[in-house]
A and B are shown apart, each in its own frame.
Chain A
Amino acid sequence: MSPQTPSATATGTPTPAAASAATIRTRDALIALGAAILALIALYAVFVDNGQLVSATGGYLHEFSHDGRHLFGAPCH
């Protein structure tokens, strides 16, 4: 992470430092996007899925999270 930035400027090579700052930003944006997508999938699985997400699970996912759905106010059959 950030440790690279000060060490790079101290040795007088600004280009790698600049590149790493931009790289860190891009990497962080990708990580943020990935984390948000994973979190949405998790929420979909427990709150919305009725067996469509992984067809092999049938109603198992739904029934396992059944009480949580009711409690947190998600629609249930």
Chain B
Amino acid sequence: MTVSTETPPYPLLPSLARGLAAGGLAGLVSGLFSLLLAEPLMDRAIRLEEKRAAAQEAQEHAAHGHGGGHSHAAEAEELFSRGTQHFGLVVTAVVVGLAVGVFFALAYALVHRASAFTERRWERSMALAGAGFLALSLLPGLRYPANPPGVGDGGTVSERQGLWIAALVIGVLGMLLAWQLAVRMRRHGSGAPARQLAAAGAVAGTLAVLWLLPDNPDPVPVPATLLWDFRVLSLAAHLVLWAALGVAFGLLRDGGQGTRKAPDAGQAQDAPDARV
């Protein structure tokens, strides 16, 4: 049997545990960030929506003598109070963080399976977080920017979900292309400028492909300043999630790996990732 000389299996379980811990933490940080900054905006957007719906209903009453006005905000209030939905935001962010953490750990394991788990973990973790932000947050977010409550027609929701998922898939495929381009060019001896320009070209190409998708069909009856603030805070929430995920995955210690790391701790002594 030659298996004993084979490289040891990649430590997937510690990696997954690290991804879950880092992702949950990142989701919590991003959720609390949004609870503080974005929720006041969403509350304002919902009050405006209620006003719009009430005005529309009054108009219909005046025109037809009866109105079937049925606002989405009123519907939402039947199920949960705004306070519960505020709490729901944080829970949702944690769930998203955990799920993203799983994919982060799996992607990390696939990309770096040929080298030791602990090798250049900080740099690699931050680089993967940056790639994830581009692929799943910034590029799809530029094509289909987030909209505050009060925007979104129930009749077009499945169409918009299809477009949104397509944008996420295109973002991931674009980042895979950029990564493979850079890897293959390095193998052929290309210098850093050529590799990095090619990768940037792939990202720009991905953005162009995203614009081949049809536009979001819904009207946006929201004041421009509210819309702008909400979209900036939405991208910020994405950024906080990915940044915290990259930092936590790069820094967190786990039992087995921590002890194995001890021999080469001479170099790690001055590095901040020896702590935490």
Contact = CB atoms under 8 A, between A and B. Distances in A.
B86 to A, nearest CB: 7
Interface string A40-56: 10110111101000000
B98 A39 contact: yes
A70 B147 contact: yes
Contacts, number: 155
Contact of B238 (A1, A14, A21, A72): A72
Contacts of B76: 63, 66
Contact of A21 (B6, B102, B109, B256): B6
Contacts of A45: 95
A38 B102 contact: yes
A35 B16 contact: yes
Contact of A68 (B8, B88, B140, B161): B88
B164 A73 contact: yes
A60 B9 CA distance: 43
Q: Is the interface on chain A under 10, 10 to 19, 20 to 34, or 35 or more residues?
A: 35 or more
Contacts of B29: none
Q: Is the interface on chain B under 10, 10 to 19, 20 to 34, or 35 or more residues?
A: 35 or more
B3 A14 contact: yes
B42 A71 contact: yes
A36 B6 CA distance: 27
Contact of A18 (B3, B75, B153, B157): B3
A32 B42 CA distance: 37
Interface of A: 1-2, 5, 9, 14-15, 17-18, 21-22, 24-25, 28, 31-32, 35-36, 38-40, 42-43, 45-48, 50, 59-60, 63-77
Listed from nearest, the 5 A-B pairs whose CB atoms lie closest are A68-B92, A18-B3, A73-B146, A75-B160, A39-B99
Interface of B: 1, 3-4, 6, 8-13, 16, 31, 34, 38-39, 42, 72, 75-76, 79-80, 84-86, 88-89, 91-93, 95-96, 98-100, 102-103, 106, 109, 140-141, 144-149, 152-154, 157, 160-161, 163-165, 233-234, 237-238, 256
